[in-house]
Amino acid sequence: MEAAGKIVFPGFIDTHRHCWQNLFRRFAPNILWQRYRESSDDFANVYRPDDVYLGGLVSALGALHSGFTTMLDWSHISNTPEHSNAAIAGLKASGIRGIYGYGQARSGWPASQYPHDISRIRKEHFSSDDQLVTLCLAADIERNRHWHLARELGIRVTAHAARHPELIHEIHRKGLMGPDVTYIHCTALDDAAWRHIVDSGGSISLAVMSVAQLGVAGGVPPIQKALDLGIRPSLSTDVEVSLPGDMFSQMRVALSLQRSAANDRRMHGEADAPALLMARDVLEFATVEGARALGMLDRIGTLSPGKQADFVMLDAEDYNTMPLNNAVGTIVSGADAGNVEAVVVAGAIRKWDRRLVGVDKRALLERVTAARTWLAEQAGYPIDLLGDGP
């Protein structure tokens, strides 16, 4: 593999993405949190298993295309066991290193068999922890009564924790917190809740663009709060229905938000203004800390002897990257998905010469477009290419 003129670095790791929704990428570019939840329920009620499969497949392929090697699918579309099976199949078909996050159906389908179907899923699809796609329990904090199932099955927990700090206090009292839990968003937590996360060894996933743009529990990603407490966050894309699906955008927003706030505090004379994040910090959030949050740092996240070969090769001699003066700065502040020349997952080439390997793009486009059109009609959301969205 010739790498002259390229930058080789560990693959990006997305610790939280709702893949099933992504037949409707950028469908709602201006949507706010509450309306997003309402429209998600409307769509979830009409999704068929094959739609879930296509959502997972196109999400994972888009992730691979932009330099992700690992992605956690936070799948709250388990309307039936068939929907769950389809989500898993989509991840497996893509070739990405995937984590299927088994979540409760948003629409409350009685046929979901949540949460107990996770035992069947573990047995049928994830009998080994060494396979490329693995399993975790995706839960909201208030659904903590189900967490014992994850511990019984030896899998991790990923939990939305955008608000309601009292629920963090509750799981602390119950003894449910631990280093096997990743908390998402963490926007409206009090100091005691943060301390519980720190003391338990938990990790966090910050979807910085999602919080800021959709206004999740106030709209300010708690980057500085986490750093002040010694937590280095992982990053995630969350919802492509309104946001980009690449890590380049997430890194830049995280870097800009923290430096903007810190510089403002410096300008106003605060003696204890925080240190500025560096480009290397956010690159580590996108790689090392992602691996740590998923419990996979022994396998991925760095280019180290003994780890599995998950890496990206970036063209450093392209129009927007030449001449190469700083590798980390180019990745974080100069490059985009179009510069991702090759992606390798567990030693297997998934993208080469800027093209995904073994993918019939035209056939996929026809399938996802047909599914999107049918679902939009069923849910009562017309496609308006020049509109502002719901």
Is 140 or 247 the better-scoring residue by pLDDT?
247
Q: Which domains does the chain have, with CATH numbers?
A: 6-379 (3.20.20.140)
What's the pLDDT score for residue 321? 98
Name residue 349's beta-bridge partners: 344
Q: How many residues in total does the chain contain?
A: 390
Q: What average pLDDT does the structure give for the chain? A: 95
pLDDT tens string 27-66: 999 999 889 988 989 999 999 999 999 999 999 999 999 9
Show the tokens assigned to 9.
Answer: 């670095």
Judged against a pLDDT cut of 70, whether residue 384 lies above it is answered with yes
Strands 311-315 and 340-345, sheet pairing: antiparallel
Categorize the per-residue pLDDT at 107 as very low, low, confident or very high, splitting at 50, 70 and 90.
Answer: low
Is 106 or 135 the better-scoring residue by pLDDT?
135
Judged against a pLDDT cut of 80, whether residue 81 lies above it is answered with yes
Strands 68-75 and 234-235, sheet pairing: unpaired
pLDDT tens string 280-329: 999 999 999 999 999 999 999 999 999 999 999 999 999 999 999 999 99
Strands 156-160 and 133-140, sheet pairing: parallel
- Provide the 3-class DSSP secondary structure of residue 134: strand
Report the alpha-carbon distance of residue 174 to residue 193 in Å, rounded. 14
What's the pLDDT score for residue 113? 86
pTM value is: 0.96
Q: Which of 13, 94, 53, 130 is nearest to 350 (CA)?
A: 94
